[in-house]
Amino acid sequence: MRPTITAFAASPDRGRGLARDMRVRWALEEVGQVYDVRLLTFAEMKEAPHLAMNPFGQIPTYEDDGLRLFETGAIILHIAERHDGLLPQESDARARAKAWMFAAVSSVEPWILELENTGFFERDKPWFQERMAAVEARLCRRLEALARWLDDREWLDGAFSAGDLMMVSVLQRIRGAELFGGFPGLAAYVARAEARPAYARAFAAQLAVYHASLG
Ligand SMILES: N[C@@H](CCC(=O)N[C@@H](CS)C(=O)NCC(=O)O)C(=O)O
């Protein structure tokens, strides 16, 4: 039986691979698991059948053999636990790879979302410039620490893992931001991950949905 994930019927990301079903598609491609996609409109995401799967009315969700999951961290961990390819076999290395998954969504992504939200929702406020500078400074401290850790490592801890998949997915959201230009090591890390064939397959599948939505 193949899992089914949900995704935007018409993604607001304009085909840039940023909608979060991309992370799950990528994980499924890395482990060689075929999957189905159920596309949802924004209205359907806020209706009872979807809210029963994700109380926040968001995509992606994951269904497999009676199991229903939301939150990309939980979904990708589930996939990685059930297939070879995204977590090391050795138990300490496996635990460290999971730590990097959590680091991506709880120590890096919140600062990136704060930057995005400030830019989207607070631009018209009189204190916008001051707040943006403070948000950027906080995010830069996290990026500096991450860049220092990566240094000349290819991946965060040994072989490519679900930790890298999550971290790269998070970093992609600021690829276009001016401040990311100050981190060439992180940009190279993202580019290395995007060169993986599994990433390319996932991106192409998500992009095909976006193109179809344009009619
Ligand atoms: N923490 C959640 C975030 C999910 C999320 O933000 N989904 C976005 C798409 S990338 C969404 O559904 N946005 C529409 C909305 O919130 O109404 C996860 O990682 O799964």
- Mean pLDDT, 10 residues at a time, the chain of 215 residues: 95 92 98 98 98 98 97 98 98 98 98 96 97 97 98 97 98 94 97 98 96 91
3-state secondary structure of 87: coil
Q: Could you give the count of Cα atoms lying within 13 Å of 142 in the half-sphere of its Cβ? A: 22
Specify the ligand 1 atom closest to the Cα of 73. Answer: 19
The alpha-helical segments, DSSP class H, found in the chain are 21-31, 42-45, 48-51, 72-82, 91-102, 109-121, 128-150, 162-171, 184-194, 197-213
Mutation test of ligand 1: which of 6, 23, 58 has the most ligand atoms closer than 8 Å to its C-beta? 58
Question: What separation, in Å, do the N-terminal and C-terminal C-alpha atoms of the chain show?
Answer: 31
Q: What pTM did the predictor assign? A: 0.97
> Measured at the alpha carbon of residue 194, what is the angle toward residues 188 and 195, in degrees to the nearest 5?
90
Q: Residue 14: its pLDDT value, please?
A: 87
Residues in the chain: 215
Q: Residue 215: its pLDDT value, please?
A: 82
133 CA distance to ligand 1 middle (Å): 26
Q: Is ligand 1 within 6 A of the CB of residue 71?
A: yes
Q: Residue 142: its pLDDT value, please?
A: 97
Q: Residue 32: its pLDDT value, please?
A: 98
